[in-house]
Structure 1
């Protein structure tokens, strides 16, 4: 406001440049997704048109019809939902208990455990692929959604524990003390007092873990041969011949897979913001 009073021209120039930068960044982020949406509504012959003609070409739903008529894609949606939901549920259950212990109790080696969790969460997937494959085949879990879900826990549980631990530390201890004075057990305190307070963090970590499990490709490609998840099904999409690349159905399948994630983000956006900003400012 001081700049506006002293030099109005410079003030409006800065605001113009700021909004111009916002527009450029927005277009840069949304243009690939918008182009994918356009491609999903275009015929195969329209893909070779110039960009302007392609943007205004006739709309068709044949790609979406072809995608939903594909039995492999429907099975992929089913298995992706089972594996992602199962991995998130197990991660939140065990992660909540671990975060409660790490955030509330003092014991020897707690800091070392936190460092181990952080190290595991940033470990590359390819480094543990061989060992996981040996374990999954040894326990006869190959091509089994349970085996894939267990493999996802390697990166969903550490992430969940790390985020929830920092959130538990910021919960006022008076809430827990009041529940204990009223006769509640530690488990009752956790489920009836702390869990409702932790709901924004649980929603945030659960949603981010769900997105990671839903979009995961390497483990799904390695550990599943017939019961494949959606990313593997889309990657193996083939046309009528070896020279045909069905970009329209591929983009339609990608849009269908993205819609649930966008819907979840829109539904829980308030919880996500609260969970991400919790503990950022201390009074």
Structure 2
């Protein structure tokens, strides 16, 4: 009896030590995980917070390293009283919304053809779309400039919608093609038996099921068009037709020696807030749309 108890005692102690070591490892891993999350959030959010802080400071206070804002909204009042900037804001809404709408229409049509209809050149078309999407803007700038002039769209916001499609259509086509491929073909086969055309299948059967994918691709295309700078700077000359990124870049101080950092930060915060609200409202659909098709069910 005594020998059995003596044998059980070391075994129990070993199990306790193993359990304690396992708990410590779990605690260390959890601490490291939360530390990594905190560092990622700080790296991502602090620049925007500092922009908010800087937009509320005046004069020499801009060079102060205090982390709390001054709650002086002079820059914001001047910004909203600037008719040229507000016009640029409306131009950005028009251009980004128009680009998103046209991109989704073209992307849905192309995605259905590439994801559901078999034709010999399908693989070549997919590779071509991928090649177009990776072209730098500088490479196509001169060609797009000639096209815009030939169409008579120079210095018009509609010229930006045309040029932005060069990057947004391949993007929406790729995402929607992946999403459409995951739909069961039995839905189409049943519709074809009933005599439905491809257009009717797309608009009446597949399109109502594509809410998350349309939300994610639409919002991301909207952000791409909203933040674009090079084409907007090249194809628009007058203040009344400029978009927000160019308007922010052209903000000047009261003298040639003043750098209007506070005004620029106020404008940046103002034009970023709508995007943040938009993403927060549709964050679930964005995530579900981007992850759809990643794992087959």
TM-score, normalised by the number of residues in structure 1: 0.94
Give the secondary-structure state (helix, strand or coil) at the position aligned to 2:216: helix
CA distance in 1, matches of 2:20, 2:289: 39
- The alpha carbon displacement at 1:4 in A equals 6.3
Match of 2:132 among 105, 114, 120: 120
- What is the RMSD of the two structures over their aligned residues, measured on CA atoms? 1.5
Any unmatched runs of 5+ in structure 1? none
**Hey, what does 1:203 align to over in structure 2?**
215
| 8 Å contact kept, 2:54–2:69 | no
TM-score, normalization: structure 2? 0.90
Task: Tell me if 1:140 matches 2:155.
Answer: no
Aligned to 1:191: 203
Cα separation, 2, equivalents of 1:220 and 1:188: 38
Contact 2:53-2:70 within 8 A present in 1 as well: no
| Aligned residue runs from structure 1 range 1-283, under 5 A | 6-49=21-64, 51-52=65-66, 55-56=67-68, 58-226=70-238, 227-283=241-297
Aligned-pair distance for 1:215? 0.0
Give structure 2 stretches of 5+ with no counterpart. 1-17
Cα pair 2:213 2:290 within 8 Å, conserved: yes
Runs of 4+ in 1 over 4 A off after TM superposition: 3-6
| Cα distance change, pair 282–4 in 1 and its aligned pair in 2 (3 A) | farther
Alpha-carbon distance in structure 2 between the residues aligned to 1:85 and 1:108: 35
Give CA-to-partner distance per residue, 1:70-97, whole Å, 9 cap, x none. 1121111111111111111111111111
C-alpha separation in 1, matches of 2:213 and 2:19: 40
Q: How far is 1:129 from its partner?
A: 0.1
- Please state how far the C-alpha of 1:183 moved relative to its aligned partner: 4.1
Q: Is the 8 A contact 1:44 1:246 kept in 2?
A: no
Aligned partners of 2:156, 2:68: CA distance in 1, in Å?
A: 45
